């Protein structure tokens, strides 16, 4: 099995080299597709020094379009059997790929979500972020008739033939409810796997905020009734 790891990047100069190193350290046949979403903090300069490195392909947006748009670009270039979404901020551990892909390798699942709320170690951070995550997951479950515990997780893993059947329209963080709604609509087999989570603070560079939570709420409605 060949893995395609898609890494959307925006203004992650401090972490992008390290996340690529950690992904490379995983013991799988893989390709790494990095999509820089018009970073302005020096991330592009870091990535340009890494161009031409074997298993790494770097794509550049000339305008900031959002995480969803970056994933759409990356998904369009994958060649592996299994596709993994990896954020560039070091909150999620590539060392857990083995557990994430296991249900697919055992032919039990077509899509795997990594859940931050199933008992694995995680950094203790913002209470209201947890409330927002769980509320959005509950609302998403009501619209999709799934029983997920963490719809907003970064770690979503797909058989390539599943992601090829999904047409992405979200540009920003609405990508999470959109992917969830569309895999639910396909009727594919979905598993959840507990993952560790080393969340960061706003001082550390965390970007998602309350406006994105409101946007996600409307995205859940959109992909249930109007898409």
- Determine the distance from the C-alpha atom of residue 46 to the mean position of all C-alpha atoms in its chain, rounded to a whole number: 22
What angle (nearest 5°) sits at the alpha carbon of residue 140, between those of residues 113 and 192? 20
Mean pLDDT of 150-173: 93
For the chain, which domains are there?
Answer: 2-226 (3.90.550.10)
The overall pTM is greater than 0.85 = yes
- Strands 156-159 and 111-115 turn out to be antiparallel
**For 187, how many CA atoms within 13 A lie in the half-sphere containing its CB?**
0
Q: Tell me the CB-side half-sphere exposure of residue 100, using CA atoms within 13 A.
A: 30
pLDDT at 141: 97
Encoding tokens for residue 74?
């990356």
Whole-number pLDDT of residue 214: 86
If one counts every other C-beta atom within 10 angstroms of the C-beta of residue 96, the result is 17
pLDDT, one tens digit per residue, over 83-127 is: 999 999 999 999 999 999 999 999 999 999 999 998 777 777 678
Confidence bin at 25 (pLDDT 50/70/90): very high
Are the CB atoms for 39 and 10 separated by under 8 Å?
A: yes
Largest Cα separation within the chain, whole Å, is: 46
Lowest mean pLDDT among 49-58, 109-118, 140-149: 49-58
99-113, 127-141, 179-193, 201-215: segment of lowest average pLDDT: 201-215
Spatial separation of the C-alpha atoms in residues 144 and 105, rounded to whole Å:
25
The rounded radius of gyration (Å) of the Cα atoms in the chain is: 16
Cα separations (Å) of 80 from 56, 154, 177? Answer: 13, 19, 24
Check: CB of residue 32 under 8 Å from CB of residue 56.
Answer: yes
For residue 139, pLDDT beyond 80: yes
* Residue 202 pLDDT greater than 70, yes or no: no
Structure tokens at 157: 């893993």
């Amino acid at each position: 099995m060949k893995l395609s790891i898609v890494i959307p990047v925006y203004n992650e100069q401090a972490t992008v080299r390290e996340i690529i190193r950690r992904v490379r350290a995983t013991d799988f046949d893989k390709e790494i597709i990095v999509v820089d979403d018009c970073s302005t903090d020096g991330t592009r300069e870091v990535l340009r020094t890494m161009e031409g490195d074997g298993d790494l392909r770097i794509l550049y947006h000339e305008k900031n379009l959002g995480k969803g748009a970056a994933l759409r670009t990356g998904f369009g270039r994958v060649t592996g059997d299994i596709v993994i979404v990896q954020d560039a901020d070091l909150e999620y551990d590539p060392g857990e790929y083995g557990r994430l892909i296991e249900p697919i390798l055992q032919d039990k699942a077509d899509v795997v979500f990594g859940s931050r709320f199933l008992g694995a170690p995680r950094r203790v951070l913002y209470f209201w972020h947890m409330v927002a995550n769980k509320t959005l997951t509950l609302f998403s479950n009501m619209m999709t008739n799934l029983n997920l515990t963490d719809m907003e997780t970064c770690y979503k893993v797909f058989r390539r033939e599943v992601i090829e059947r999904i047409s992405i329209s979200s540009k920003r963080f609405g990508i999470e409810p959109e992917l969830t709604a569309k895999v639910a609509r396909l009727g594919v087999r979905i598993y959840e796997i507990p993952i560790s989570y080393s969340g960061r603070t706003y001082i550390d560079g965390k970007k998602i905020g309350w406006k994105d939570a409101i946007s996600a709420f409307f995205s859940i409605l959109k992909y249930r009734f109007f898409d």
